[in-house]
Amino acid sequence: MIQDEILKLKKEKNAIILAHYYQDKEVQDIADFVGDSLELSRIASTTNHKMIIFCGVNFMAETAKILSPEKKVILPVKEAICPMAMMIDKEKLLAYKKLNPDRVVICYVNSYADVKALSDVCVTSSNAEKIITTYKDQKMLYIPDKNLGTYLKDKYHLDIDIWPGFCCIHNNLKTDEVDTMRKAHPKALLLIHPESPLALLKMADYVGSTKGIIDFASKSEAKEFIIGTEEGILHPLRKRNPDKTFYLLSEGLRCYDMKLTKIEDVLRALKEETFEITVDPNILVDAKKALDKMLEMS
């Protein structure tokens, strides 16, 4: 069986397999650890394994490399990218900083190393609220996700400029879909990821990261939930809560890039040790400072 081959090779090569909650079920089930960006960053920064096989999109594997520069980090599918991370680049950020030197730059992890290196601190959807409110008396720039930034700006009345990037999956959600699902499932609670538009977040019973949604649903006494984030989350939700029912808010909640990685790619990545992630050492040092600061402040 392919799973046995993976386990054998993983042991021989002293490798750890990390997978994001948005990966296919089969990939999640073969991983040593399944988590969201913050949890996976923490593991990448502390693991003793020589090699990290990162099942996710490329900025995540790059983040693991920055946090563990001495490890070999492999992304099984080179083409797995996050479109949001490409909605900001170093030149545009430098131009903004020149005009606004007094703003603290807060960078969502869905970004590349050269952008992180120009930022004061990184955040994920699990810790953005805590970290951003620490700077609430200062002027800020939040890059690149407009929806999470707008949600926190609205909630805390912050002096924060928001970069106009977005997640193509969550940004497409519509309030009509909420109305339809609420009518169909009147007892269900609505749990939504903050990469979604503000109008939907205002309709939610809970707004939080992927891990936040899993924790909320697992602790809640409610039995039915409408889930407003990528469909991969349904696997851990159902595994942990066999007595509860989960409905996906929209059929559009499927990230093409996250689903590129198949279990065969994990095996090939272990065998061939491709595709290895590299980061320019000069960029890595500054990007690591922003990520380390995030881990300290979380």
* Binding stretches for ligand SF4 (CB under 6 A): 22, 57, 82-84, 110, 167-169, 195, 230, 255, 257-258
Minimal distance, residue 48 CB to ligand SF4, in Å = 28
* 45 contacts 295 by C-beta, under 8 angstroms: yes
Minimal distance, residue 3 CB to ligand SF4, in Å = 25
Q: Which long-range contacts does 172-179 make (Cβ < 8 Å, 24+ apart)? A: 172/250, 172/252, 173/197, 173/200, 173/228, 173/249, 173/250, 173/252, 173/253, 174/200, 174/250, 175/199, 175/200, 175/203, 177/249, 177/250, 178/203, 178/226, 178/228, 178/249
- Cα 18 off chain centre by: 13
Minimal distance, residue 190 CB to ligand SF4, in Å = 19
Q: Which residues pair with 195 in a beta bridge?
A: none
* 163 contacts 87 by C-beta, under 8 angstroms: yes
Residue 70 main-chain phi, psi, to 5 deg: -80, -10
Task: Name the residue nearer to ligand SF4 (CB basis): 230 or 265.
Answer: 230
Minimal distance, residue 165 CB to ligand SF4, in Å = 9
Task: Name the residue nearer to ligand SF4 (CB basis): 6 or 75.
Answer: 75
* 36 contacts 21 by C-beta, under 8 angstroms: yes
Minimal distance, residue 290 CB to ligand SF4, in Å = 19
Task: Name the residue nearer to ligand SF4 (CB basis): 20 or 71.
Answer: 20
Task: Name the residue nearer to ligand SF4 (CB basis): 10 or 129.
Answer: 129
Minimal distance, residue 242 CB to ligand SF4, in Å = 26
Task: Name the residue nearer to ligand SF4 (CB basis): 10 or 147.
Answer: 147
If you compute the radius of gyration of the chain from its CA atoms, what whole number of angstroms results? 19
Task: Name the residue nearer to ligand SF4 (CB basis): 10 or 209.
Answer: 209
Task: Name the residue nearer to ligand SF4 (CB basis): 6 or 44.
Answer: 44
Minimal distance, residue 57 CB to ligand SF4, in Å = 5
